[in-house]
Amino acid sequence: MIIVSFCVFDRENYVTLAASLIGVTSLIFNAKGNPFGRLLMILFSLLYGLISLSFAYYGEMITYLGMSMPMSVFALITWRRNPYQGNRAEVEVNTVDPKEIVQMLLITVAVTVLFYFILSWFHTANIVPSTISVTTSFLAVYLTFRRSPYFALAYAANDVVLIVLWSLASVVEPKYISIVVCFAAFLVNDVYGYFSWMWMKKRQTALL
């Protein structure tokens, strides 16, 4: 689907194609709790940041290069340090307690407000969905770092925002339709990832 949309709507920007394929592959590994998915996400964040720069989506560029990519590095380290029963291909699922959830939400609000003013200063295109994308991205990378199954739902919410964001860009430049298709594929994979992690958590808990 991604390759077909690239051939139909783009045909030129191979960075977009590479980012899409790397991103989808990353989600497949992430859904299984495999740390290799985090390594691929680091590469995806770099490429996606460059793509965002091309359409003046500075929020996306800053979010992925300044937040998602570094947090993916930390998540990779955390996942590697917490294998399930010594299996390096599967991370041990973690539970985030209510107190930490409250702290996370307060930090998320602060990050959202801060980024709104930063994006305003940069005259970012489509600032409202861009700001919401920062919110969902922060929640996603935080929950990923904490090895919570709910990271997949946060990423799914982010996918919806990005589908809207790049649909708006596609009105100006039809070649960006391939990115819309990319995030639609991400959405499907992230929903699957959530159920996969919940099943993984149930299995790991049952074996304790």
Q: In this predicted model, what pLDDT tens digit does every residue of 21-47 receive, in sequence order?
A: 898 899 999 999 999 999 999 999 999
Q: Mean pLDDT score of the chain, rounded to an integer? A: 88
Contact criterion met (CB below 8 Å) for 157 and 134 = no
| DSSP characters over 156-186 | HHHHHHHHHHHHHHHHH-GGGHHHHHHHHHH
Average pLDDT (65-83) is 91
The pLDDT value recorded for residue 84 is: 93
Judged against a pLDDT cut of 60, whether residue 7 lies above it is answered with no
Contact criterion met (CB below 8 Å) for 19 and 44 = yes
CA neighbor of 68 nearest in space, from 129, 144, 147, 167: 144
The pLDDT value recorded for residue 208 is: 60
- Reported as type and span, the H/E element at residue 84 is strand 83-84
Judged against a pLDDT cut of 50, whether residue 199 lies above it is answered with yes
Average pLDDT (75-86) is 93
Average pLDDT (153-163) is 95
Average pLDDT (83-98) is 93
Judged against a pLDDT cut of 90, whether residue 171 lies above it is answered with no
Alpha helix (H) ranges present in 32-64? Answer: 36-54, 58-63
